[in-house]
């Protein structure tokens, strides 16, 4: 059995990463694609993301015991990807992880064969989505729009534009994974 491929999903806030990953979570298993949950020190009902909520103490306890494959901090929260993804990859599953552009170098060190995936959208669509979710002030939204260009697109990235139908973005991502799978190595 060959190892699976890790797809490291990133992009600016408001690009619709969680929505696209939610769509893939519902439709991707038929294609052998799993979406890893993130462990976040944020209440379960906050954020609109299918994540596992941990207290800071529990997060630190898990991190000290090596139960995360990746961890990072952003926006005053701790984020982690569970070490179970290494098990899934070893068993031949392709795995999508919702990462952070700032933690991308760490992810490359931990998983040198990963494929970067950038989910993006135009500034107007992003501003509209950020305003609709109601978590950021107008100043916060303006800052996020400026920051969306702060990170260069990593070489070899799959770029998925999520501006129209969610299913189109999800299908485009699954097709890109199918196309890239032939070149994936462990």
Query: Are 113 and 6 contacting, i.e. CB atoms less than 8 angstroms apart?
Result: yes
And the tokens for 60? Answer: 């630190």
Is 16 labelled as part of a ligand binding site? yes
Residue 136 burial by CB count (10 A; 0-12/13-18/19+): exposed, middle or buried?
middle
Strands (E), 54-132: 68-74, 77-82, 94-98, 115-120
Is 105 within any annotated ligand binding site? no
Q: Is 18 annotated as a binding residue?
A: yes
Sheet holding 77-82, edge to edge: 51-53, 38-40, 77-82, 68-74
14 known ligand binder: yes
Residues making up the binding site: 11-18
Residues making up the binding site for ATP: 11-18
């Amino acid at each position: 059995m060959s190892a699976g491929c890790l797809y490291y999903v990133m992009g600016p806030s408001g690009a619709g990463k969680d929505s696209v990953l939610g769509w893939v979570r519902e439709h991707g298993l038929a294609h052998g694609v799993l979406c890893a949950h993130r462990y976040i020190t944020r209440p379960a009902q906050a954020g609109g993301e299918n994540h596992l909520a941990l207290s800071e103490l529990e997060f630190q306890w898990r991190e000290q015991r090596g139960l995360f494959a990746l961890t990072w901090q952003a926006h005053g929260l701790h984020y982690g990807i569970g070490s179970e993804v290494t098990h899934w990859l070893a068993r031949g599953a392709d795995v999508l992880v919702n990462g952070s552009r700032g933690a991308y170098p760490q992810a490359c060190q931990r998983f040198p064969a990963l494929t970067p995936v950038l989910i993006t959208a135009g500034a107007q669509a992003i501003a509209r989505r950020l305003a609709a979710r109601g978590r950021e002030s107008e100043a916060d939204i303006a800052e996020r729009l400026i920051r969306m260009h702060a990170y260069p697109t990593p070489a070899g990235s799959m770029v998925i534009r999520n501006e129209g139908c969610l299913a189109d973005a999800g299908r485009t991502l699954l097709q890109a994974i199918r196309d890239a799978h032939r070149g994936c190595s462990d």
